[in-house]
Amino acid sequence: MMGLSIVIPIYNERETVEPLYAALTQTARTLGQLYELLLVDDGSTDGTSDALDRLAAADAAVKVVHFRRNFGQTAALSAGIQLASGEVVVMLDADLQNDPADIPLLLARLDEGFDLVHGWRKNRQDAFVSRKLPSKLANWLISRVTGFAVHDLGCTLKAMRREIAGELQLYGEMHRFIPILAHWRGARCAEVVTRHHPRRFGKSKYGMSRALRVVLDLMTVKYMIQYQSSPMRLFGGLGLASLLAGAAAAAATVAMKLGQGIDMTGNPLLLLTVFATLAGLQFLVLGLLGEVCVRTYYESQSKQPYSIRSLVNFGDRMDAAAAAIARQRAA
């Protein structure tokens, strides 16, 4: 099996292709193990595709994936992970702001027993107002909501074991939440300080509009890590709270009628009773439907709501158990 798979999503980075390849090759050759460079062309239109093909023609270690159009960084990383054959998967950006020379630092922490190591751009070389400040606020918010202590989720530079990478299901723009998703699956994660360089070519593909997308993605991640396997805990709780609010409003309405003679039909609390009761019933039904969907999802695809790290003393059952784990990862 290949020792190391380096996955790089690329979109309109023609000027960086050659220096990026040179830096990656120089670092990879010092590691003393087989490696592959998985360059995922995310629908580039500036000549990047031709530059990547020239590299692949000259070096068999370079493997290029061309998307039909621009699908986004998450899709590019997901494709690279699925096609990777190495025991360790490394990811980094193509803009040369991540330093390939930091890859050995991440691999050294993996050797210490961690499953995923992600970079921390402590001395980030970006504009403060448009890039650094929103990133600091986003990381603070994500840490508080998810309970996952992190300084820099936006750093693409990561290294993870193949079995962890294979369990990740990335959609939308979930690439920035990879450490949290892996931690949710039981992975042991570590954060290391890495270098960050000013952008030399082109311009950033991100703007202030990403802040709203981060908040929406955070809501999805919070739901996934806390309620995905049992949605009734969320919707059932909301339903019971609504029903209790409706019962309290009904009791107050009756008390006001009996004690003060206030007309029930003109009392706003009566409308609150009806609204809260209907909302409570809808939340309960939504929770039940969610439970049915979760069970259908797991059972129809032979998935399990857990992740096995290793098996010990299973004897003759080891092969069957290992095959079951392989099927789980492939699914």
What pLDDT digit, counting tens, does each position of 70-82 carry?
988 889 999 999 8
Together in a domain, 273 and 216: no
User: How far, in Å, CA of 329 to CA of 317, rounded?
Assistant: 18
Range of the domain at 149: 2-227
Least confident of 64-68, 119-123, 282-286: 119-123
Residue 86: name the closest of 146, 14, 159, 20 by CA. Answer: 159
Together in a domain, 9 and 91: yes
The pLDDT, as a whole number, for residue 184 is 86
Q: Which of 196, 227, 258 is the last residue of a domain?
A: 227
CATH of the domain at 202: 3.90.550.10
The larger pLDDT score, comparing residue 26 to residue 301, is at 26
Asked if residue 72 lies in contact with residue 41, where contact means CB atoms within 8 angstroms, the answer is no
The pLDDT, as a whole number, for residue 209 is 61
For the chain, the average pLDDT equals 85
User: How far, in Å, CA of 178 to CA of 169, rounded?
Assistant: 9
Together in a domain, 204 and 244: no
- Residues found in the chain: 331
The pLDDT, as a whole number, for residue 221 is 86
User: How far, in Å, CA of 157 to CA of 99, rounded?
Assistant: 9
Helix (H) or strand (E) holding 190: strand 189-193
Residue 20: name the closest of 176, 192, 207, 201 by CA. Answer: 201
> Mean per-residue pLDDT for 187-210?
78
Q: How many domains does the chain have?
A: 2
Residues 165-196: pLDDT tens digits?
Answer: 888 888 777 888 999 989 988 899 999 999 88
pLDDT at 317 over 60: no
The CA–CA distances, whole Å, from 81 to 1, 7, 309 equal 15, 7, 19
